[in-house]
Amino acid sequence: MSLVEITGLDVRLDGRPVLDSVDFSISRGEIVTLVGPNGSGKTTLMRAVIGAVTPAAGQIRRKPGLRLGYVPQKLHIDPTLPLTVGRFLSLPVRFSRFETRAALEQAGAEALTDRQMSELSGGQFQRVLLARALLSKPELLILDEATQGLDQPGSAAFYRQIETIRDETGCAVLMVSHELHVVMAASDRVVCLNGHVCCHGTPEHVSSAPEYRALFGTGTGGALALYRHDHDHSHEHGPDCAHDSHETAAE
């Protein structure tokens, strides 16, 4: 059974259409990555999964009582707010010191419990955010550009950690990223978004799909192509686009 199932989702922000009849679903234990250019609605789709946007049309169905772990893109903590890592992890639900230490270890951020959040480096901060998301024993872990500000080896290590966590806990993972080649290697399924679903399927399928190439160019140079792709690409996003491979990926 799907953890989240979205059908025909239309979202408008300030009257501007952001998502247009998007179908999306994610099942237990799956790692799904959203790719797409800036402004393509990735974060909006993610916020729809959390329940933070009101759809103009369409349906968002969540498994009743679904436990979500959310790692936001940025978390600005006002300097006037004193907050230790340990206290942050126990928000909003109190956890024992033993539990928080275990979560920090799982996220690869041991020995940070008594540090102030404001003293952490970018990488440490992201790992603490991950630890907090893990504490609720999530069935679905959501990561929005979680490796922003990490260097290449750092983000590769971060994604390996995510895969390990999936293997250990069996949670599903939904993530957004710009680092296409790194993320795609760690994903079971990729959804390419540009206001609508351009194409989806296994990483191999998507990276060779003409719709994807129209957006990102070819090969590992795709990450660069991101910044000079053509928004006015046209193709049909009908039922013939990659739905077959979706089914093979779900098996």
Partner 1 sequence: MSFLDSFLIRAALAGLGVALAAGPLGCFVVWRRMAYFGDATAHAAILGVALSLAFEVPILGGVLLCCLAMAAAVTALTGRGHSSDTILGVAAHSALAFGLVAVSMIPGARVDLSAYLFGDILAVGRGDLAVIWGGGALVLALLWWRWSALLTTTLNADLARASGMDPEREQRYLTFALALVVAVAIKVVGVLLIAALLLIPAAAARPFARTPERMALLAAAVGGLASLGGLRLSFLADTPAGPTIVATAAAIFALAASLSGFRRKVAR
Residues that bind partner 1 (CB under 8 A): 47, 50-52, 68-70, 72, 75-78, 80-84, 87-88, 91-94, 116, 136, 142
CB 99 within 8 A of CB 127: no
SS3 state at 236 = coil
**Nearest distance, CB of residue 168 and partner 1, angstroms:** 21
Pairing label, strands 172-176, 140-144:
parallel
The smaller minimum CB distance to partner 1, of residues 85 and 249, is found at: 85
Cα–Cα distance measured from residue 227 to residue 71, given in angstroms and rounded to the nearest whole number: 25
Tokens of 248: 């093979």
Q: How many C-beta atoms lie closer than 10 Å to residue 177's C-beta?
A: 23
Q: Give least dist CB 83 to partner 1, A.
A: 6
CB of 9 to partner 1, least distance (A): 17
CB of 228 to partner 1, least distance (A): 30
Q: Are 161 and 169 within 8 A, CB to CB?
A: no
Between 138 and 222, CB nearer to partner 1: 138
Select 29 or 72, whichever has its Cβ closest to partner 1. 72
Helix (H, G, I), strand (E, B) or coil at 112: coil
Nearest approach in angstroms of CB 50 to partner 1 is: 5
Between 93 and 228, name the residue whose CB sits nearer to partner 1. Answer: 93
Alpha helical stretches, state H, the chain = 42-50, 85-89, 97-106, 122-135, 152-169, 180-185, 203-208, 210-216, 222-225, 243-250
C-beta closer to partner 1: residue 72 or 217: 72
